[in-house]
Chains A and B, each alone.
Chain A
Amino acid sequence: MARKFLCLSILLSIFWLGFSNPVHAAGDGESKTGFILPHVMDNYEWHFATIGHTHVTLPLPVIIYSPDQGLEFFLSSNFQNHETHKFGKDYGVGGYYIDENYKLSAADPSRTFYDFSITKNVAMMFIVIAVLLFLMLKSANFYKRNPGAAPKGIASFIEPIVIFVRDEIALPNIGHKKYRKFTPYLLTLFFFIWVGNILGLFPEAANFTGNIALTFTLAIFTFIITNVNGNKDYWKHVFATPGVPVPLLLIIVPVEIIGLFTKPFALMVRLFVAITAGHIVILSFIALIFVFESMAVGVASTIMVVFINFIEILVATIQAYVFTLFSAMYIGLAVAEHDHH
């Protein structure tokens, strides 16, 4: 198992080194590290490599909804200079343009529009969903075909994790009465984040789970599930905390209400920061090679990147676990039945 991880990490690192935009290395100090932030952020195109002057990119659909013009579809390559593949104000289409900071704007600033583009992260999500569906449906199929048999193949890989989520996350935090209802949500959450984290570590992959919009969405789901399922005791704790004198309630109740929102906020920020920071650290070590242009730094950086990749594989799992665990805890708090008040 350890050897497999080592091989995987080395492979990932080699890919990182091989495909990291060498065009930036030719420029000044700014552009040598300039690829880091665009990588961890979202983008309208999926840029794989620049070989000489040839850009290997996957153009992605740009979908815009505006009240006055309805739904509009473009391809991200339409917004680029065909030679340099750079976005800019000069390459606008249909009254829209994408600026150098990858921000979609309307040529007429007074117009309002909503951007529903299939960005790099959305495309990445489709891959994550495809991998998830393949893994899970295949293993589910095994159980249907071999009732009562010991798991084999993918099922034997999935099963311990499913049992872990059920018995170590859902059951102890939610309680044996209600954990079954929330286990599917927690399982989906865990595998969605975990597969997203792991696939995000591949070279050229998008920083999908390290995007604040995704972590925001997942946190909102936990927030909704928690509060929709909150029972009488839960709301009583928020609005009329038992055992607290009435004057203190003036302080406690606002704190409790803020607490409702800080929980998902913490979920959102934790996953975003952990994954994005990991990507930035790996890319920074790679950027060091281009900044110093020295063999020694190259060797040292590569070793560090291998090491960080190990840690990131660990972090990918831990963050998926932590997000699921805290979601289970929040749900558990909302559905717990208190006898002692």
Chain B
Amino acid sequence: MGLITPGLGLIFWSALGFLIVLFLLTKYAWKPILAALDEREKSIDHALKSAEIARNEMSNLKAENEKIIQEAKIERDNMLHKASEAAKQMIDEAKEKAQLEGAKMIESAKAAINTEKLAALEEVKVQVGILSMEVAEKILRANLSTDAAQQKLMDDLLKDIKLN
């Protein structure tokens, strides 16, 4: 058992010891530890990958959202445009209708006024006729109160007929 001459006993024991350690550690330590490390590395890898996927999906979703918002804006603009046009049309139509209606009303009012006027004039005419008849009667009564006057009227009337 010198310094540089390996002793048989120690070779034997260290070989035995090392083999036992190798066996025990491989079976009960390295395999579970390495498996756990692999497992964890895999799960970290997996987590990173799924995070990447999620990020991509997020950006896709965002783009889609923006697209939807864009479309909605266009839609809204269209709707607003259509609505304002429809409103304008309705207003125009209403105006036209109102104008027509107004014109009709004015027309009918005019007609009614005319009728009223004619009726009033007729009334006036009748009244004038009655009045003139009354006047004429009074005048006649005054002028023809004597026989001579009556004769004279007769004569005049006859004269007129002859002339005709």
Contacts and interface: CB of A to CB of B under 8 A. Distances in A.
Contact of A118 (B5, B13, B31, B40): B13
The 4 A-B pairs of least Cβ separation, nearest first, read: A143-B36, A213-B10, A136-B29, A213-B6
Q: Select the residue from B1, B5, B22, B40 with max chain A CB neighbours within 10 A.
A: B1
Contact of A129 (B12, B21, B34): B21
A139 interface: yes
Contact of B32 (A42, A143, A148, A212): A143
A159 B11 CA distance: 30
Given A116-B13, A129-B20, A147 B3 contact: no
Contacts of B39: 147-148
B21 A115 contact: no
A265 interface: no
Contacts of A139: 29, 33
Interface in A289-330: none
B4 A212 contact: yes
- Mostly, the B contact residues are helix
B15 interface: yes
Interface string B98-140: 0000000000000000000000000000000000000000000
Given A102-B1, A143-B36, A192-B18, A217 B11 contact: yes
Contacts of B34: 162, 166, 180, 183-184
Interface residues of A, number: 54
A214 B1 contact: no
B158 interface: no
Given A133-B24, A192-B21, A211 B10 contact: yes
Contact of A221 (B1, B18, B26, B30): B18
Contacts of B7: 42, 115, 119, 213
Interface stretch (A11-19, A72-80, A120-128, A250-258): A120-128
A103 interface: yes
A208 to B, nearest CB: 9
A158 B30 CA distance: 11
Interface of A: 37, 40-42, 63, 102-104, 114-119, 121-122, 125-126, 129, 132-133, 136-137, 139-140, 143-144, 147-148, 155, 158-159, 162-163, 166, 180, 183-185, 187-188, 191-192, 211-214, 216-218, 220-221, 272, 276
A188 B22 contact: yes
A143 B33 CA distance: 6
B114 to A, nearest CB: 104
Contacts of A125: 13-14, 17
A183 B32 CA distance: 13
A188 B30 contact: yes
Contacts of A155: 33
Contact of B9 (A116, A126, A183, A191): A116
A270 B34 CA distance: 29
B8 interface: yes
Contacts of B11: 213, 216-217
Contacts of A184: 22, 25-26, 30-31, 34
Contacts of B29: 136-137, 139-140
A159 B38 CA distance: 12
Contacts of A276: 3
Given A121-B10, A188-B18, A188-B21, 14 more contacts: A42-B10, A104-B1, A115-B8, A116-B8, A118-B13, A119-B1, A122-B9, A129-B20, A136-B30, A148-B36, A148-B40, A184-B25, A185-B22, A188-B26
Contacts of A144: 32, 36
Contacts, number: 133
B30 A183 contact: yes
Contact of B3 (A40, A137, A140, A166): A40
8 contacts: A117-B9, A129-B17, A136-B28, A143-B35, A147-B36, A183-B30, A188-B22, A217-B15
A36 B58 CA distance: 71
A115 B25 contact: no
Nearest to B44: A148
A339 B15 CA distance: 37
Given A115-B8, A158-B33, A212-B6, A217 B18 contact: yes
Nearest to B26: A184
Nearest to A276: B3
Contacts of B21: 129, 132-133, 188, 192
| Residue from B18, B25, B28, B35 having most chain A Cβ neighbours under 10 A | B25
